[in-house]
Amino acid sequence: MLALRLSLGAHPAVQLRRLLVATASAGTGFLLLSALGHALGHPDPSVSALRLAWCAAPLAATVYFAVAVARTDPGTRPRPGLSAIGLGPARLMAISALTTALSCLLGSALALLAFLQLRGDLTGMPVDGAATDFLAAGRPLPLPAALTLLALVPLTASVAVAMALRPREPVTGAPRAVHAYGRFGAYRRTAALESFGAYGRFGKQLAASARVRRTAGAAPERGGAAVLERDGAAAPGRDGAGDTPGTADGSGAAAGPGSADGSGAGTVTDIPAPAAHTPPSGLPWGITVLAVGLAVEAFASRSGTGSPADRPAALLGLALACVGLALAGPGLTHLCGRMLQTARPGALRLLAGRVLMTEATRLGRPLGVVCAVTAAAYAMASLHEREDASSGPLVALGVLLVAGCTVATLLTAAVESRQARADTTAALRLLGAPTVTLRRAAALRAGVLLALFGPLSLVVAQLSAWPLTG
């Protein structure tokens, strides 16, 4: 009952995103049923199989959008209070997958009703027109085949959500200590070799143990800062008021890393700064795949004079170019953030660039997919003007589905990024940062991304459309 309340009692924006998932599922289900109707009306199986293969792009876009919506659902996010009543990460993952399946099932049911209405099975008045040959109005519709095709979207989306939100083991930063045996079976914590008789030297092992305790007791409370321990304060590693970590007899003769003298008045333990943001590793691969795709298209345009359907290498080159754009998206987003922080950046550029570098993978991946879909849509639109336009409504529906799902996924990723930065934004406002500055930083990020990805998409679209129309 609580799981049902978590799913139904969500914010209206969350319910709107679920309705958008149902709408995308309805469009994809209608395209799958149209492929089935075309197969019933035409005896050639190759053409029907090609129409069914073209439905893979709307199916992938719908599943991609469903996973993005499931990520931003606050009702199924793991929280400490829910684990005590049996709703742990695994149970919440199952609830999210079930919610996605229900949304997609609603869309599939709407697609089936619309298809039956256009065929005339519900009212007995089928729609007339030359472009309705995919309905197969005069033939009986095989219900098992229709239900199998309609089950593809809910099943694939729920499995993808379960794989994306599955509980993962926490990755610890410190490697596991490996004990090595030294002389007389004692544990050796260092790889340095000891000279003869050094193990039994007075005070050597005591100083080593004190150094180990001091290293283990220095907890990294905040990155890049220093923890100051003064006399009289209760600090880890001290046995008395005057004992200082790093000494064997408590006299304070050995100074800590940050003390100015050996008096033991204070010990400063330096904590290493957090690691810099590593750029995503997909940029070189994305550029390579993009260059290979454009080269394959150029070679296909020189080797043949027929239509692109007779030259599958041209379509293969277009697919490789789109995959390259999608792979290069996170790296290009990280590069935009680094460029914003060059040449003496101010607070505004520093804040905008740091956010782009942090959210490079979350924002760059759907942004690269949007650019790839834009380039492919432009190239296929120039090809469609030269080909037969008998299946115009279905092509328009497919393009609208893919473009709408990718743009909606990008907006949903922006919402997820905003939710992930909620604590940082609250801390900045608590420190006195004005709201106008945060809005200007968001506008600056959007402007830089548009300035880079917009011309890049147009250039790749032109280069991809030229071999197809040549």
Share of the chain above pLDDT 70, in %: 65
Between the alpha carbon of residue 426 and those of residues 416, 423, 435, the distances in Å are 16, 5, 11
Please determine, for residue 340, whether its predicted confidence score (pLDDT) is greater than 50.
yes
Please determine, for residue 8, whether its predicted confidence score (pLDDT) is greater than 50.
yes
Q: What is the pTM of this model?
A: 0.72
Average pLDDT over residues 227-245: 39
Averaged pLDDT of the chain: 75
Measured between alpha carbons, how far is 136 from 457 in angstroms, rounded to an integer?
39
pLDDT at 219: 45
- The pLDDT confidence band at residue 449, using thresholds 50, 70 and 90, is very high
pLDDT digits (tens, 9 = 90+) for 309-333: 446 777 888 889 999 999 999 999 9
Amino acid making up residue 77? R
Measured between alpha carbons, how far is 206 from 215 in angstroms, rounded to an integer?
14
pLDDT at 239: 42
Instruction: List the one residue out of 361, 366, 343, 353 whose CA is nearest residue 441.
Output: 353
For helices 360-384 and 392-420, angle between their N-to-C axes, nearest 10 degrees: 170
Backbone angles phi, psi at 126, to 5 degrees: -70, 155
pLDDT digits (tens, 9 = 90+) for 366-403: 999 999 999 888 887 776 554 444 567 888 889 899 99
- Beta bridge partners, 444, equal none
- For the chain, which residues make up each domain, given as ranges? 2-164, 225-271, 283-469
Within a 10 A sphere around the Cβ of 263, how many other Cβ atoms?
13
Average pLDDT over residues 327-348: 91
pLDDT at 255: 40
Q: What angle do CA 216, 220, 225 make, to 5 degrees?
A: 130
Beta-strand (E) ranges in 342-455?
A: none
> Which residue in this structure is represented by tokens 């905040």?
222
Inter-residue contact 107 to 22 (CB < 8 Å) = yes
pLDDT at 467: 73
Give the residue, 208 or 228, on which the prediction is more confident.
208
- The pLDDT confidence band at residue 262, using thresholds 50, 70 and 90, is very low
Please determine, for residue 226, whether its predicted confidence score (pLDDT) is greater than 90.
no
HEC string of 37-55?
A: HHHHHCCCHHHHHHHHHHC
Q: How many CA atoms lie within 13 A of 216 on its CB side?
A: 9
Sign, Cα dihedral of 231, 235, 241, 247? negative
Q: Residue 257 in 3-state DSSP?
A: coil
Backbone angles phi, psi at 341, to 5 degrees: -100, 10
Q: Is 170 left (phi over 0), alpha (psi -120 to 50) or beta?
A: beta
- Eight-class DSSP state of 432: T
Residues 6+ apart with CB under 8 A from 361: 280, 330
Average pLDDT over residues 34-44: 83
- Beta bridge partners, 145, equal none
pLDDT at 58: 93
Determine the distance from the C-alpha atom of residue 92 to the mean position of all C-alpha atoms in its chain, rounded to a whole number: 19
> Which residue in this structure is represented by tokens 């959500």?
161
Measured between alpha carbons, how far is 461 from 428 in angstroms, rounded to an integer?
41
Beta-strand (E) ranges in 174-265?
A: 180-181, 187-188, 226-230
pLDDT digits (tens, 9 = 90+) for 46-105: 777 888 888 999 999 999 999 999 988 876 666 666 666 667 778 888 888 999 999 999
